[in-house]
Amino acid sequence: MQLIKVAAAAVNQTPLAWDTNQANITRAIALARAAGVTLLCLPEMCTSGYGCEDSFHSRGVIEQAWRVLTEIAPATAGMIVSLGLPIVHRAAVYNAAALLVDGRVAGLVGKRFLAGDGIHYEPRWFRPWPAGAAVDWSHQGERYRLGDLLFEVGGLRIGFEICEDAWVPNRPAGRLAGQGADFILNLSASHFAFGRHEQRRRLVVEGSRAFGTTYIYANLLGNEAGRVIYGGDALIASCGKLLAAGPRFGFEPAYLTACVVDVDATRLYHARTASFTPSVVDPPGSVVEVPAEFLREQIDIETQSVVDPAWARSDDWKFEEFTRAEALALYDYLRKSKTRGFVISLSGGADSAACACLVYYAIALATEERGLARVCEALGYDPEAIPSFAALMRQLLTCVYQATRNSSETTRAAAEAVAAAVHADYLELDVDALVNGYTSMIAGALARPLTWETDDIALQNIQARARAPGVWMIANIRNALLLATSNRSEAAVGYATMDGDTSGSLSPIAGIDKASLRKWLRWAEVRGPEGVGPIPALKAINSQQPTAELRPPGEGQTDEGDLMPYPILDAIERAAIRDKLPPRDCFRRMRTRYPELAKATLFAYIERFFKLWSRNQWKRERYAPSFHLDDENLDPKTWCRFPILSGGFQRELDELRRELEL
């Protein structure tokens, strides 16, 4: 029996924040040392941050990452530690994993398969390391082995997969298993998306079973660079059994997930597997041998148990994931931007109420885990001056209701109730005089009156735009971030006023559709996330039909009346944009899903969607940064690219109209 204590660490890094990143790595190493860990795996690009983007082409960034590595190295005395960084070899930049053994760099492995789809853009910055290649790499007067390598450290065989390497059919672990790898370390920067946790867990557990090894998976944590959320999710599995799983969506800078594994048992698992055919001889130059006199038999065999939080096992897991992902993203965005809070133009409708509640949950969940004093310190407030959670919320969140003559008492009361429930500072502004001033000024310039019959869109939009300067001014005065409140369904069809309700520094709900958001609001009203609970005041929001309140009250304006029912809009969007179906195929799918709709009605919805989608790409390009929540995103900066000018599917729609004889 050869027992070794191993660990994976999740760290909350920031691109180019060298001191913070180094401190978090050093903290993780210290936690591992205190726990008696021998082998520790840290995430991909944790020295520089994964989201450096074109800064990876800066020689200064590459050199600074190496400097951080060498400064960290002494802290690994008596341990084996892996961590990620960018390096340059022969004028090309590579995504690399360094292995530190007993305070020294033992060698480096280059990432073989680069992530180049969806939010990932690695081929722009890096080159893939060729399979089987290994070189003697000279850097700052020292020589290291670099390449597609296996390390033998004191008799333990250690191989690497770097994030995407594990998601391809011909993954490197197959060859490493043939060479008798005892451990495969996966350094990852794997983004959050709904349901991705289960995919990640299956990949780790099945990898450990198929390759007869102990698989150690370390991932980034938090809102690293602004848009992408990392859930943490450290995992350790051996021979098809999950041994340890780390916390998700935590607010600490570093988490350690550790357990003890029996190396001899892993090797015997291989021996009992009839299909396992080892490589009798290692390919020349593929193994780096490293002495490790510090290795000793592990005595403490206590293993971290694998226990998912209750919320992850509930029927409401998706609502919980959404809440916790948004909460961590908002908390980190506020902390890392060094601003003093958030401002929301609270209309009394679903979208702005959701934004206010998400800010509340962000601070509540952080406080539940870290305590009020530490949260105050992290956000730049003096704990002595903040006597309670409610007092902190009043400092951090300002909600502003801005009325015009078309606003109702229903939405005003709903806005006030929600603001009180989340302990926000609540202000009311009457902007009707501003709207009248703009309307009169333009009417005078055009020498004609403006009417709803001739100027409907302009008269709606000026109300939304007149609200922006005042709320921006409040945000500036309070050194706060103004949150835009548009959702993904509105983004799909451009149902938003540019420089009105799209005004803001950050758009937290632009990644989620309206139908899902309304379900979440009903859940938040009656249940809410585990550990915090519901916000009953949301009943005033959920009892209303969504409306922009921009036309005269007598017209009974609703969002779905202007567009179509939100569930249908969202279904068409997924068919047309996610699945790339042309109008004819969208019609056929929707006809099956909504057989009760008349052909003419369904065609009108599909025509409206495709026309509005095509016309409004320029709006999506101008949205404030949003969070990536699922792999069906519409954000042109990270996921869904579409031309600003296009033919608008006119030919396809005309063909479908003729086919339906409409």
Model confidence over 360-414: pLDDT tens digits? Answer: 999 999 999 999 999 999 999 999 999 999 999 999 999 999 999 989 999 999 9
Per-residue pLDDT, 453: 94
Q: Residues with Cβ < 8 Å from 257, sequence gap 6 or more?
A: 7, 8, 9, 10, 234, 235, 236, 244, 245, 246, 304
Residue 464 to residue 53: CA distance in whole angstroms? 35
> What percent of the chain has a predicted confidence (pLDDT) above 90?
87
What is the three-class DSSP state of 400? strand
Q: Copy the structure tokens of residue 308.
A: 């998912």
Per-residue pLDDT, 632: 85
CB 47 within 8 A of CB 83: yes
Nearest by Cα to 211 from 257, 161, 260:
161
CB 44 within 8 A of CB 252: no
Q: Residues with Cβ < 8 Å from 205, sequence gap 6 or more?
A: 215, 235, 237, 240, 241, 242
- Candidate CATH numbers 1.50.40, 2.40.10, 1.10.10, 1.10.8; the one for domain 559-662: 1.10.10
Averaged confidence pLDDT in the chain:
94
Q: What is the CATH number of domain 3-275+283-297?
A: 3.60.110.10
- SS3 percent helix, strand, coil of the chain, rounded to 5, is 45, 20, 40
CB 219 within 8 A of CB 234: yes
Residue 530 to residue 533: CA distance in whole angstroms? 6
Per-residue pLDDT, 299: 58
Question: Which amino acid is present at 303?
Answer: T
pLDDT digits (tens, 9 = 90+) for 463-508: 999 999 999 999 999 999 999 999 999 999 999 999 998 999 999 9
Q: Copy the structure tokens of residue 387.
A: 């006597």
pLDDT digits (tens, 9 = 90+) for 523-556: 999 999 999 999 999 999 999 988 878 888 888 8
Per-residue pLDDT, 126: 98
Per-residue pLDDT, 305: 58
332 pLDDT band (50/70/90 cuts)?
A: very high
Question: In the β-sheet with 39-41, what is the strand arrangement from edge to edge?
Answer: 134-139, 142-147, 104-110, 92-101, 80-89, 39-41, 3-11, 254-262
Give yes or no for residue 297 having a pLDDT over 70. Answer: no
Q: Residues with Cβ < 8 Å from 216, sequence gap 6 or more?
A: 6, 7, 8, 39, 41, 183, 184, 185, 186, 235, 236
| Residue ranges of the chain assigned to CATH 3.60.110.10 | 3-275+283-297
Residue 257, CB-side half-sphere exposure with 13 Å CA sphere: 29
Residue 380 to residue 368: CA distance in whole angstroms? 18
Residue corresponding to tokens 């403006």? 450
Question: In the β-sheet with 156-162, what is the strand arrangement from edge to edge?
Answer: 241-245, 235-238, 214-219, 183-188, 156-162, 150-153, 287-290
Rounded to whole angstroms, what are the CA distances from 631 to 202, 358, 614?
Answer: 18, 21, 21
Per-residue pLDDT, 303: 55
Residue 528 to residue 320: CA distance in whole angstroms? 8
* Beta-carbon count within 10 A of 345 CB: 29
Question: Which amino acid is present at 136?
Answer: D
CB 246 within 8 A of CB 232: yes
Rounded to whole angstroms, what are the CA distances from 362 to 64, 316, 324?
Answer: 33, 18, 8
Arithmetic mean of pLDDT, 562-587? 96
Chain centroid, CA 528 distance in Å = 21
Q: Copy the structure tokens of residue 227.
A: 């848009």
Give yes or no for residue 276 having a pLDDT over 70. Answer: no
CB 520 within 8 A of CB 538: no
Give yes or no for residue 312 having a pLDDT over 90. Answer: no
Per-residue pLDDT, 505: 97
Helical ranges in 273-316 per DSSP H: 310-313
Strand ranges in 61-213 using DSSP code E only, listed in sequence order:
80-89, 92-101, 104-110, 134-139, 142-147, 150-153, 156-162, 183-188
DSSP H or E run through 144: strand 142-147
CB 503 within 8 A of CB 464: no
CB 417 within 8 A of CB 352: no
Per-residue pLDDT, 645: 97
Residue corresponding to tokens 């009707």? 432
Compute, in degrees rounded to 10, the torsion defined by CA atoms 492, 494, 498, 500.
-90
Nearest by Cα to 72 from 88, 84, 60:
84
Instruction: Write the DSSP symbol of residue 73.
Output: G
298 pLDDT band (50/70/90 cuts)?
A: low
| Residue ranges of the chain assigned to CATH 1.10.10 | 559-662
